[in-house]
Structures are given as C-alpha cells and as structure tokens.
Structure 1
Amino acid sequence: MSGPVGRGAKVRAAVHAATLAELVDKGYAELTVDAVAQRAGVHKTTVYRRWNDRQSLVVDALAEHFAADIPTPDTGALETDLRALARALVDSMAGPVGTAVQAAMHSDAGRLPEIAEARQRIFADRFRRAEPVVSRAIERGELPVGTDPAEVFKALAAPIYYRLLVIAEPVDQTTADLAARIALAAARAGALISPIATRNQTAGRRQ
C-alpha cells in the first residue's frame, strides 16, 4: 500500500485511479473494494463511506474518466471540431481503460445493471459534449437549423464502434478522420435533423 492520502477530492481521485487500475489489471469480475482501497492508500471503510458498493464505485469511476477523456473542441470550424472529437474517441476506446471496459461489456459482466448504467452515463455525457459543437456550427451557418447533436455524435461514433467491436479491426487516426467526414457529410445534407424540428418546419410551411 502507498502512503495515506488526504481527504475529500484527493481521496476521490485516488480511489477512482485505483479502481481504473484494478479494472485494467484484473478485469471487472476480479475487482474488489479491498484491492481498490489498498492500491489507493485508504482504508476500505473510507471507500464505503463514499460509495455504497463495488458497483456504484465502478460506475462513478468510469463515468468520470470518460467525461474527462473526451473534450469539447472549439476550433472555429465544424470539420476540425468533429475530427478532434473522433480522434479523442479513438484514443479513449483503444486505450487501456477503454479496452478493459469493452472486455467487461462483452463478458458476463456486460449483462449487469451497473455496467449498463455506466454505459448510459458515458454516452449521455458524450451527447452533451456534442451539443455546443453542433450549436456553434448552426450559428455559423455550417449546418441546417434543427440538426440533432446526439445524432451527429452517433454518426461520428458508429464507424469507429463498428470496426472496433463488430469486425475487430484496429482503429487509428485514419479511422477517426473518416468517421468525421461521414458525420460531416450527413449533417450538412440535413440527414441528422431531429424529427421534432422536421415536424415543426413542415407545420410552419403549411400555415
């Protein structure tokens, strides 16, 4: 065990880091609160005071890690913003934590509610990070009004996830740049406008 850490934010950061390290080293099935506490340099009661159980600890650590792992770019142009998002996503997915998470999701652990919750929190955060990118692009006149940020991110992520998880091909910056071009083309063509915006526009033309 390393030396004791302080309270508050330092403890939280140390426990999160230890949780991710245990996940990478041992996998979800073998991860224990005792091992996390030992690696973090805290007593296990300190962990249990902040997280009710192993499941809530893993969900919290994963959600915070991936929230910090994907930035919200502001390069001044949609094309370069999407490229930055796609490259960050590839780096995240192909990194040690991303690889460990994918292994957990494709094992028996993938059916556990806490893993599903972690996945939902991760993607909800990533959809939120796409919102300012798309909003600024609409304001600059690069995208049609009503373009759905979540759909833009899905179009961006789909080629990456397909290669990585379905056909087991490696992904790199070339993959990311291609995904960005696909999402950009679809968004510019108006294919990613939200259904609500489409209905409102149709109703407006009828009035």
Structure 2
Amino acid sequence: MEQRPGGRSSRVRDAVRQATLAELAEHGYNGLTVENVATRSGVHKTTVYRRWKNAEGLIADALELARDEPWPIPDTGSVQEDLREIVRLVQGSFSDPIEGPISSAFVVAAVQSSDAARSLHTFFVARHEQAAAVVRRAVERGELPEGTDIADVIRMAVAPIYYRLFITHEPVTERDAERAADAAVAAAHAGVI
C-alpha cells in the first residue's frame, strides 16, 4: 500500500492502528482478530487482511507506532531520580486502565508469536536507547564510573517490574519501582554492571 502523508492510506493505517489498540485494551491479544479490527476501524476486511495479514501483523504495526512515539526522558541532574522516573513510567503504563491492558497484551503476544516477539524486541531497543541518555549523562558527570554498561543499567532497572507482573503476578507499587531503580544505580556504582 503506497504511503502518502495525509492520504487515504495514511487514514486507513491510523484507523486500523487505533482499532487494534482498542481491541487489545478490551479483549487482549487472544481476542484480537482481523475481523473485529476491520469492523471497529470501518476498513473493509479484505483491505486489513491484504495489508496486515493477521493478528501478528496488527501487533507489529501497533508496536511500530508506539516505538516511534516520543517518550519523556527525565533530566533531573541525578541518575537515581532519572531512573526512578523511568521505572515509574514503566510501572504506570501497566497500572493505567487504558494503557495497561494494551502493554500487557504486547508482552503476551510476544510470548505466543515469534513475529510479535521480534516487534516487541525492536520496540524495546528503541525505548532502551532513549532511556540510555540518563545513564550516559551520569557517566559524563562522573556520577557513574566509566565503563558502566549503559544498556544493562536500564535493563536492570526495569526488569523487576516485568518479573513481578508477568512471572510472579504480584502488584507493583511506586515504591517497588523506586527500589528497582535504586538497585540498578547501586550495581552501577559498585561496578557490577
């Protein structure tokens, strides 16, 4: 499908993406169907099948949309506060009544589909690269040691959130988010990561 800014294909893609997100919020990944997305978006079913093929194609496109959206990266002057804000953003995206089911559906899709897993990986690469700015700044300020593995600091900070939500199925409080960030900073200060 030819992409023309502001053209019909752009409107169709936006309608399908928005319908996909609404379907994920209401029914989760297992309830995501091309037929329901077509109905909700007002786009003919054959067009949706031709362009997106299946639920995995819809997920991939929705994650591409999310990946390209700007993410608010804090700059408080303190790596600990910056990481706390980032982890609270992650925690908040899962506790939000609209965004939470969508975020969870993306993770569930990645567990069940290798195509969705690749799309989620690409999404996380982009998010981690954006978030890495707080660690880079901290190294430049001398707040963290040279040689700190910037990507691992971000992974270590957010990993406990995903573990609690998807492995142990525990609630995640703001305090849990802050402790996860604090642990990543402590590990970086100790030269462990």
TM category (shorter chain) comes to 0.7 to 0.9
Superposed CA deviations along residues 62-115 of structure 1, whole A, max 9, x for unmatched, are 34336648532223321221011101111123312123334445xxxx232122
**Equivalent residue letter for 1:139:** E
1:90-169 matches, cutoff 5 A: 90-94=91-95, 95-105=100-110, 110-169=111-170
1:8-157 matches, cutoff 5 A: 8-48=9-49, 50-65=51-66, 68=69, 70-94=71-95, 95-105=100-110, 110-157=111-158
Q: CA deviation at 1:52?
A: 4.3
Task: Indicate conservation of the 8 Å contact 2:28/2:102, yes or no.
Answer: no
Q: CA deviation at 1:29?
A: 3.1
Q: How many residues align?
A: 184
Superposed CA deviations along residues 130-160 of structure 1, whole A, max 9, x for unmatched, are 2212111111111111222210111101221
Call closer, same or farther: CA 1:66–1:84 in 2, change over 3 Å.
farther
Gaps of 5+ in 1: 193-207
Q: CA deviation at 1:19?
A: 0.6
Structure number, greater radius of gyration: 1
TM-score when scaled to structure 2? 0.81
TM-score when scaled to structure 1? 0.76
CA distance in 1, matches of 2:131, 2:150: 6
Gaps of 5+ in 2: 1-5
Aligned identity (percent) is 47
**Equivalent residue letter for 1:31:** L
**Equivalent residue letter for 2:78:** A
CA distance in 2, matches of 1:100, 1:23: 6
Q: CA deviation at 1:15?
A: 1.6
Call closer, same or farther: CA 1:162–1:28 in 2, change over 3 Å.
closer
CA distance in 1, matches of 2:109, 2:88: 23
Call closer, same or farther: CA 1:48–1:178 in 2, change over 3 Å.
same
Q: CA deviation at 1:8?
A: 4.5
**Equivalent residue letter for 2:45:** K
Q: CA deviation at 1:14?
A: 2.4
Task: Indicate conservation of the 8 Å contact 1:51/1:57, yes or no.
Answer: yes
Call closer, same or farther: CA 1:77–1:67 in 2, change over 3 Å.
farther
Superposed CA deviations along residues 30-79 of structure 1, whole A, max 9, x for unmatched, are 32222112212222344355434432221120343366485322233212
Q: Spell out structure 1 runs of 4+ moving beyond 6 A.
A: none
Farther-moved stretch of structure 1 (120-129 vs 64-73)? 64-73
RMSD between superposed Cα atoms in Å: 2.5
Superposed CA deviations along residues 1-21 of structure 1, whole A, max 9, x for unmatched, are xxxx97354433322121121
Task: Indicate conservation of the 8 Å contact 2:56/2:113, yes or no.
Answer: no
